[in-house]
């Protein structure tokens, strides 16, 4: 069963911009899915269509088998959305904000109150239930938006940039929470600018660029496609210059740190033995590359090159 199935989805805005050019996407029930892409790629448009905020030009969208054309209410009941902008009524009390949302889904008051308590407790907002939204910190407001999106018990949670502007500690506790609800059966789709976030959380990744899906695979498979990684080596003794090691590109960062680029087909053991022959002892190492970031940049560059080539072909009528 697919939580979300998108077929040949097109969107042309009235100003003529083709935001989506026939995208296909399938998200399995239970998956933790990242939709990535640079600004203007079409992510918000795609999410807007799925959540019926944006009208599509053509194509099919089904949520747990329910078409957004013929069974919109059923499809909507499966979805909880956390939009990118804070869209809380600043004067609403925290409790009311959540309980009223449950009302929109036809949940009776008594049950709505119970569910509200549960989600507010889970998101560590129960103590704040009597305060107005405007008195909450940025991280709390985001958590309140998540609580509001979850109160009707959606099976698919869609988050658009959930941790934008949230400090590291809160981001990590939000990650833990999202992992927990995913483990308990909620399918999650998120867009994020923090590629580290996608790499940490998501099992599947689709990358969209200029209205086209350019990558759609398991996260592990996508990361395996990378050819090189940069490692930082911590040294026991200080070095004045970078040691020369055959076949490896080694640079000195400071007295006790070296940076080395390792290609996919290179063997780390040979690096360590060459270093030890040169009298350099490594005490620890860390991966410097944000691997997804690298992939992302490469994909976008590839598309830019393709576009340039197309232009050359056009200009010279080849
Ligand atoms: P992303 O979320 O990946 O940044 P968007 O879906 O917001 O991308 O935008 C995709 C393209 O559609 C962009 O070129 C953007 O300028 C355009 N666009 C988005 N919303 C509208 C709109 N309401 N009217 C006209 N063009 C829009």
Please name which of 72, 77, 54 lies closest in space to residue 62, comparing C-alpha atoms: 72
CB 43 near ligand 1, within 6 Å: yes
CA distances from 232 to 249, 254, 287, 288 (A): 12, 11, 6, 6
CA of 229 to the centre of ligand 1 (A): 33
CB 55 near ligand 1, within 6 Å: no
| 5 touches 68 (CB < 8 A) | no
Helices (H), the chain: 43-50, 72-77, 94-104, 109-122, 138-150, 168-183, 195-201, 219-224, 268-277, 291-315
pTM value surpassing 0.75: yes
CB 36 near ligand 1, within 6 Å: no
Domains of the chain by residue range: 2-219, 228-287
CA of 41 to the centre of ligand 1 (A): 7
CA of 19 to the centre of ligand 1 (A): 6
CATH 3.30.70.1560, applies to 228-287: yes
CB 13 near ligand 1, within 6 Å: yes
CA of 40 to the centre of ligand 1 (A): 5
Hey, how many other C-beta atoms are within 10 angstroms of the C-beta on 197? 22
Going by C-beta distance under 8 Å and a sequence separation of 6 or more, which residues neighbour residue 183? none
What is the third-level CATH fold of 2-219? Answer: Rossmann fold (3.40.50)
CB 53 near ligand 1, within 6 Å: no
SS3 content of the chain, % helix, strand, coil (to 5): 40, 30, 35
CA contacts within 13 A on the Cβ side of 307: 8
> Structure tokens of 175?
């990650």
Residue nearest to atom 18 of ligand 1 (CA): 19
CB 128 near ligand 1, within 6 Å: no
- Per residue of the chain (318 residues), what is the pLDDT tens digit? 899 999 999 999 999 999 999 999 999 999 999 999 888 899 999 999 999 999 999 999 999 999 999 999 999 999 999 998 888 999 999 999 999 999 999 999 999 999 999 999 999 999 999 999 999 988 899 999 999 999 999 999 999 988 877 788 888 888 999 999 999 999 999 998 777 788 889 999 999 989 999 889 998 888 777 667 788 999 999 999 998 888 888 999 999 999 998 887 788 888 888 888 888 999 998 887 666 666 667 666 777 777 777 776 666 665
**Neighbouring-strand partners of residue 284:** 234
Closest atom of ligand 1 to CA, residue 20: 10
Going by C-beta distance under 8 Å and a sequence separation of 6 or more, which residues neighbour residue 172? none
């Amino acid at each position: 069963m697919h939580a979300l199935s998108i077929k040949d989805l097109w969107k042309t805005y009235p100003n003529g911009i083709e935001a989506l050019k026939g995208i296909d996407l399938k998200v399995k029930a239970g998956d933790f899915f990242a939709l990535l892409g640079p600004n203007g790629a079409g992510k918000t448009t795609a999410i807007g269509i799925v959540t019926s905020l944006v009208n599509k030009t053509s194509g099919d969208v089904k949520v747990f088998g329910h078409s957004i054309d013929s069974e919109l209410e059923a499809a909507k009941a499966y979805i909880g959305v956390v939009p990118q902008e804070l869209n809380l009524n600043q004067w609403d009390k925290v409790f009311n904000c959540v309980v009223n949302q449950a009302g929109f889904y036809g949940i009776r008051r008594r049950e709505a109150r119970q569910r509200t308590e549960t989600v507010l407790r889970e998101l560590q907002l129960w103590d704040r239930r009597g305060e107005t939204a405007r008195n909450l910190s940025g991280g709390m407001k985001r958590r309140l938006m998540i609580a509001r999106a979850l109160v009707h018990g959606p099976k698919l949670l869609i988050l658009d940039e959930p941790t934008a502007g949230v400090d590291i500690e809160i981001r990590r506790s939000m990650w833990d929470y999202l992992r927990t609800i995913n483990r308990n059966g909620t399918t999650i789709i998120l867009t994020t600018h923090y590629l580290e976030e996608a790499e940490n959380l998501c099992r599947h990744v689709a990358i969209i660029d200029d209205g086209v899906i350019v990558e759609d695979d398991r996260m592990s498979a996508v990361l395996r496609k990378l050819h090189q990684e940069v490692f930082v080596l911590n040294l026991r003794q200080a070095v004045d210059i970078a040691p020369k090691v055959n076949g490896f590109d080694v640079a000195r960062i400071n007295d006790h740190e070296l940076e080395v680029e390792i290609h996919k087909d290179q063997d780390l053991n040979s690096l360590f033995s060459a270093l030890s022959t040169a009298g350099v002892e490594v005490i620890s190492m860390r991966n410097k590359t944000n691997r997804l970031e690298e992939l992302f940049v490469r994909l976008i560059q590839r598309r830019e090159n393709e576009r340039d080539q197309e232009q050359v072909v056009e200009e010279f009528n080849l």
